[in-house]
Amino acid sequence: MNKKIIEVDEVVIKFAGDSGDGMQLTGTQLSHTSALLGEDVSTFPDYPAEIRAPQGTVGGVSGFQLHFGKIVDTPGDYYDVLVAMNPAALKANRERVKDGGTIIVDIDSFTEKNIKKAEWTNEGIKTEILDNYNVIQAKISTFTKESLKDMGLSSKDMLRSKNMFALGIIYNLFDYPLKHTEEFFEKKFAKKPSIVEANKKVLRDGFNFAINIHAMPSYRIQPGEIVPGKYRNINGNQAAAWGLLAAAEKAGLELFLGSYPITPATEILQEVALRKDLGAKSFQAEDEIGGVVTSIGASFAGKLAATSTSGPGLALKSEAIGLAVITELPLVVVNVQRGGPSTGLPTKTEQSDLLQALYGRNGESPLPVIAASTPSNCFKYAFEAAKVALEHMTPVILLTDGFLANGSEPWKIPSMSDFPEIKPKFAEAKADGKYLPYERDENLVRTWAIPGMAGLEHRIGGLEKMDLTGNVSYVPENHEVMSHLRDDKVKKIADFYPEQEVEGSENADILLVGWGSTEGHLITAVRELEEEGVPVAHAHFNYINPLPKNTGEIFSKYKHILVCEINLGQFVGYLRGIYHEYDFLQYNKIQGLPFTVLELKNKVKQILEK
């Protein structure tokens, strides 16, 4: 029997199961293999906040989404293939399967009890699923046990490998080689050959099962249009940590990261903790405040100092960030946004800390805010944030979010020679022995005198300081002078930023405006609209405060300006405050999820039809 072959540009797959089913590992292996085959890949893990949420319930479903193909800018919105390890996983994801898509289920798990746990019925499954999709009902648990029955493993241990059976099916579906995943197990469990053998065997058996049942189509993906070069996979947290390390190297300084574990930012601390080989110091403090304040101490002592956190942690750090503002010390605060307020949705993504980053401190407390917009450019913008902090003597907030932090993509490995030097402005002792810590250059930047430098002993602190000397001052006029100096210093940083670029059709009636992690979805929406003959322009902002100098000029060119964000309208409010003369439309979503391309396209069409 000949297999039906479907030629496609791209495919979206979702693996879903209980938190303990190994869906993250399965997804990572598939993304790794497809990347090695030269396809463009974007991934997004989606997991509950609980480590082992109640088994079999919709709330406990853990997922891993992958998008691969020719041009890929997002992890995809709707699935060509869904692998559901139990009824809850199927129920939670059913609405995102494309019409006519393929669903692979572990039919062994569709017991009465599990269907009930998912708050579903056999009738529901039939009418909602079986009648509408190409469903492969595989006895994944039974086959896995059968496959491993001679290996002397317990039933529980055998079932741990069932994710590999599912992966084997998928590898067959795309005609992918097994060898990269086999090598992964050989390396990872080098000292436990039985685990290596078990996983390899189940993977092969899953692959063979798919051959035997002849029930599935086979996808053939158009090769990616990737620039030749050496690649690696990277996620946003790793990229942010590495960007800071890279900046430290370029500045000739050691990196100091004072931090406290918090979802979804923890991995940044873990990455830096690994890098003692590069001389990086990580300090896991007793709380968020301790994390940022140890970093401020390290900055005073002459290190490239950073702290990593998420929304609630940024709130706790706000007083200390104000201290870095008034003492004018370099500091990078990486805030990986998540759903809020309060504890909110720790594992879900949101862009709702923008106003906190801009204004969430007491007093007039300006600082630069930069936002990364893809998993891999977290490296570039972490580097940039550190450069701004060190060269302009200021704390900088770098915004990423859960979507970027956990999402991964292939990254063309840069060379450090491609990056600019970073030149901190160290103080030099004068012959007269007088040091003015708050004397400024033409960019209003003060100098950095570090304990251990002779002749530059000075005192700084959180009390308002006298211009030039830095001594404590309650002089009314001085406070006004200093407030303006601090504000103007941050504004002047725009002189060092590149012009804001506009993608898409310059002559379009509508400009899509986004910032941060929505970039991939906006780019894709613009590309698809253009293919449909709808001209659209797109300006995506990474520099939030200050904004690039040509920002107003861009806005002047379009009939409609639509600002799209995963919040209730924070960036649009900020823009309205600065550019009163333009009428900004807004499109917001706040479900802990990214936009879908379809949602964006529909919104644009709706505006243009009016």
Q: Quote the CA–CA distance of 11 and 415 in Å, as a whole number.
A: 31
- Residue whose C-alpha is closest to residue 512's, from 540, 554, 492, 481: 540
Q: Which of residues 12-51 bind other proteins (CB under 8 A)?
A: 32, 35-36, 38
In the list 50, 119, 287, 439, the residue contacting other proteins (rule: CB under 8 A) is 287
Burial of 503 per CB tally in 10 Å (0-12, 13-18, 19+): middle
Using rule CB under 8 A, residue 244 touches other proteins: no
Q: Quote the CA–CA distance of 39 and 31 in Å, as a whole number.
A: 9
Using rule CB under 8 A, residue 59 touches other proteins: no
Q: Which of residues 92-131 bind other proteins (CB under 8 A)?
A: none
Contact string 415-454 vs other proteins (x = CB under 8 A): xx--------------------------------x-xxxx
Quick one: 83 or 323, whose CB is closer to other proteins?
323
Provide the Cα torsion 314, 317, 321, 323; round to 10°.
170
Burial of 509 per CB tally in 10 Å (0-12, 13-18, 19+): middle
Q: Quote the CA–CA distance of 304 and 330 in Å, as a whole number.
A: 7
Residue 55's Cβ-side half-sphere holds a number of Cα atoms within 13 Å equal to: 6
Q: Cα-flanking dihedrals φ and ψ of residue 309, to 5°?
A: -165, 180
In the list 43, 233, 374, 542, the residue contacting other proteins (rule: CB under 8 A) is 233
Provide the Cα torsion 230, 235, 241, 243; round to 10°.
50
Using rule CB under 8 A, residue 471 touches other proteins: yes
Query: Tokens 């293919």 belong to which residue?
Result: 531
CB 108, min distance to other proteins, A: 33
> Do the Cβ atoms of 372 and 378 come closer than 8 Å?
yes
CB 604, min distance to other proteins, A: 33
In the list 90, 240, 265, 296, the residue contacting other proteins (rule: CB under 8 A) is 296
Quick one: 51 or 454, whose CB is closer to other proteins?
454
Q: Quote the CA–CA distance of 185 and 195 in Å, as a whole number.
A: 8
Q: Which of residues 339-368 bind other proteins (CB under 8 A)?
A: none
Q: Which of residues 297-316 bind other proteins (CB under 8 A)?
A: 297-303, 305
Quick one: 300 or 587, whose CB is closer to other proteins?
300
| Binding footprint of other proteins, residue count (CB under 8 A) | 68
> Do the Cβ atoms of 311 and 337 come closer than 8 Å?
yes
**Amino acid (one-letter) located at 36:** L
Q: Segment near other proteins (CB under 8 A), from 106-114, 139-147, 229-237, 522-530?
A: 229-237
Beta strands in 9-92 (DSSP E): 10-18, 40-46, 61-69, 79-84
- The structure tokens listed for 161 are 């490998």
Q: Cα-flanking dihedrals φ and ψ of residue 373, to 5°?
A: -130, -5
- Residue whose C-alpha is closest to residue 370's, from 360, 361, 357: 357
In the list 177, 279, 341, 363, the residue contacting other proteins (rule: CB under 8 A) is 279
**Amino acid (one-letter) located at 2:** N
In the list 53, 293, 389, 399, the residue contacting other proteins (rule: CB under 8 A) is 293
CB 249, min distance to other proteins, A: 5
CB 272, min distance to other proteins, A: 12
In the list 45, 290, 516, 546, the residue contacting other proteins (rule: CB under 8 A) is 290
CB 187, min distance to other proteins, A: 9
Q: Cα-flanking dihedrals φ and ψ of residue 118, to 5°?
A: -80, 5
Q: Segment near other proteins (CB under 8 A), from 130-138, 276-284, 490-498, 505-513?
A: 276-284
Q: Which of residues 387-416 bind other proteins (CB under 8 A)?
A: 413-416
Q: Segment near other proteins (CB under 8 A), from 135-143, 191-199, 279-287, 529-537?
A: 279-287
Helices 311-327 and 288-300: crossing angle, nearest 10°? 30
Q: Which of residues 449-468 bind other proteins (CB under 8 A)?
A: 449, 451-463
CB 285, min distance to other proteins, A: 6
Residues in touch with other proteins (CB under 8 A)? 32, 35-36, 38, 224, 226-233, 242, 245-246, 249, 254, 256, 258, 275-279, 281, 283, 285-287, 289-290, 293-303, 305, 319-320, 323, 327, 413-416, 449, 451-463, 471-472
